[in-house]
Amino acid sequence: MIQNTRGANFLRPLINAYNPLPIHGITAIPGKISGALMLVNAITDAVPLIHGPVGCAFQRKINPFRPHASFYETPCTDMRDLEVVYGGEEKLRQGIKETYEKYHPALIVVITTCASDLIGDDFKSVIEGIKGDIGCEVIYTAGDFVGKSKPIGYQDALYAITDQMLCEGLEKGEIVKNDCSVNIITLPIHNAALKTAEMASVLREMGIKINKICFDHTTVKDLYALSKAELTITDYPLAGIRLMKEKAGVDYYATVGLEKYRERKEPELLSPYGIEGSARVFMEIAKRMGKEGEAEEVIERRKKIAVEKVSGIKKDLEGKTVAYSGMGCLHSLEQQMLLRDVGINPGLVIYKTSGLGLLLSMDAMEEVRNITVEWARKYGSEPEVLINPTTKEEIKAMKEKRVDLAIVSSLNNAVHEYHKEGIRTFNREDLMLHYQRIGFECPVELALRLREALKEPQKRSPLLCMLEYDTLRVNLTPEWAKLADIFMSLRGGVVGDRC
């Protein structure tokens, strides 16, 4: 029933194919070069120049954030023994010049490496020295601007852009503001254009202009124009965005109010999704822009349409018993969308702390758990809660509760085992990756997809059930579980890069 746009149907399975890869803080951490390349790659007329040995350029072609979309252009300075001993500044200087002559970009982003960092090359002075001689902007990212903020290279590169390019111009006081306009900035892995279309449309209807959406075919010219906006809307207040406020006076609004939540402990602040969450977010943006009046009408009208649509679908979901897994991650959807908007009836909530452990402390997890149960109660359900059950225990509980649909994650739950036992599932991971976004249309789509999932034919004997899996991390084979254990031990509990 859900129509896809022409010619894009391959993308979901393609992205999904690489999704189970257990890296990103489970068995490995992508280095800073990858993060920086992700950003450079999202700027259509920028070229990276990796200041380091060939490996730092060749291996980094594989994009750990989107392994299906490699970085095909990764020129480097081909650092050798000689430079390690005598320094690589001259090679970098020559390299920048040559890069400009070869690629004719509007921006060269020099990405430094362990090797160039350790030998102490002075990137800044090399760049300042050569900038005037070539016809494009040059900046550098060394991974040390933003501390531990993840994904480190991305954060750092964005900071470098703000710091070395945008703020440069600002000092000259040349900004002509684009009145009553906002930027929308999200990670390039989040399909910016697709996922912000409704937000942009709502804001426009309120009389708020969209200055720039990043990153979506973004050019260097677009980057310069970022400082013309009054406000930047972003999911998380990245260091570069904070700097933009500081230096260029472009304030920001974070849709996921982690900072405020830490003060006020109101769980709603963590969820900008669903009908109410979106309404709150849109209204807060409107207030910041002085458009409350216009906003009220727009939000009410759009809300009404969404509520009507959802209630049309709700009928088919009534009386169905649902199990869901606690999200742990901040993209949490259950409270706003599943319970309030779609009105599902959770009979069972499952927590897997092995996954959560990566992301939140035990305290924070307990907090999230309490929130979850509280919410369910508020909407009239009294779900059983399972903490770290084995797959067998999950299935037993689901069968006892006569669960019609298990809303779980293909990365944390052994969905093929459920299927073998005749339990239908809805993959939270898929929703999060491809569809979840702020706006009123998303809950409608969720309701539709849930209804479809209830009707889906059973999958009886998945080949994947032939394999052995780790009992705790049910998506990992014993081999990978060992790698994960070793990694965890060595890192002593890292904060993952996924969220």
Partner 1 sequence: MNNEKIKEREGLVYDPTQDCKLVGAARALSGVKDAITIVHARPGCHCGVLLLRALGSNQNDIRIVSSAFRASEMIYGAEGKLTDAIRLSYKHFKPSLIAVLNCSAPAIMGDDVEGVVLAMKEEIPAEVFSLSTGGYEGPAWIGYEETLAELTHFMVESEKAENSVNIIGFKQDEIKAYSDLSEIERMLNSQGITVNSVLTNSNFDEIKKAPEASLNIVLGGDGLESAKIMKERFDVPYVVTPYPFGLNNSIEFLKRVSRGLNKQIDQEFISTEKEAIKERIERVFLFLEGIYDTSVAVVGDGGRAFDLAKFLSDELGFGIKVLAITSKNYSTQDREKEDYFESLLIEPDRFEMNRELKTKGVEMIFGSSMEKKLAYELGAPLVRIFYPVLDEVSISDSPYAGFKGTIQLTENIINAVISNYAGIIDAD
Q: Which one, 68 or 204, has the nearer CB to partner 1?
A: 68
Nearest to 330 by CA among 166, 150, 471, 469: 150
Q: Least distance from C-beta 212 to partner 1, angstroms?
A: 19
Chain CA centroid to CA 420, Å: 32
Task: Indicate the pairing of strand 107-112 with strand 46-51.
Answer: parallel
Q: How far is the CB of 188 from partner 1 (least distance, A)?
A: 10
Beta bridge partners of 252: 232
The distance of closest approach from Cβ of residue 111 to partner 1 in the complex, given in angstroms and rounded to an integer, is 11
SS (H, E, C) 464-487: HHHCCCCCCCCCCCHHHHHHHHHH
CB 438 within 8 A of CB 281: yes
Cα three-residue angle 273-275-279, rounded to 5 degrees = 85
Q: Which two tokens stand for residue 27?
A: 């068995």
- Taking the complex as a whole, the smallest distance from the CB of residue 232 to partner 1 amounts, in Å, to 25
Minimum distance from residue 113 beta carbon to partner 1 (Å) = 7
Q: Which residue has the tokens 């309490």?
A: 370
Rank residues 116 and 332 by Cβ distance to partner 1 and give the closer one. Answer: 116
Give rounded-to-5 percent helix, strand, coil for the chain: 50, 10, 35
- CB of residue 119 vs partner 1: minimum separation in angstroms? 7
**With respect to partner 1, which residue has the nearer C-beta, 374 or 456?**
456
DSSP run (H or E) holding 50: strand 46-51
**Beta-carbon neighbour count of residue 102 at 10 Å?**
10
- Shortest separation between residue 173's beta carbon and partner 1, angstroms: 36
Minimum CB distance to partner 1 smaller for 189 or for 281: 189
Contact 48, 40 (CB under 8 A): yes
Q: Which is nearer to partner 1, 176 or 463 (CB)?
A: 463
Q: Check if the beta carbon of residue 438 is closer than 8 Å to that of residue 417.
A: no
Between 304 and 491, CB nearer to partner 1 = 491
Minimum Å gap between C-beta 405 and partner 1 is: 14
Helix (H, G, I), strand (E, B) or coil at 440: coil
What sign has the CA pseudo-torsion 7, 8, 11, 13?
negative
Asked whether the CA dihedral 262, 263, 267, 268 is positive or negative, the reply is negative
Closest to 90 (Cα-Cα) out of 61, 63, 119: 119
Nearest approach, Cβ of 279 to partner 1 (angstroms)?
28
Closer residue to partner 1 (CB): 259 or 452: 452
| Residue with Cβ nearer partner 1 (175 or 494) | 494
Nearer to partner 1 (CB atom), residue 399 or residue 482? 482
Give the nearest distance from C-beta 203 to partner 1 in angstroms: 26
**Closest CB to partner 1 among residues 130, 415:** 415
The token pair at 157 is 């590169």
Judge contact between 431 and 333, C-beta under 8 A.
yes
- Give the helix ranges, DSSP H, for 104-191: 114-119, 123-131, 152-160, 167-171
Report the distance separating Cα 238 and Cα 253, nearest Å: 11
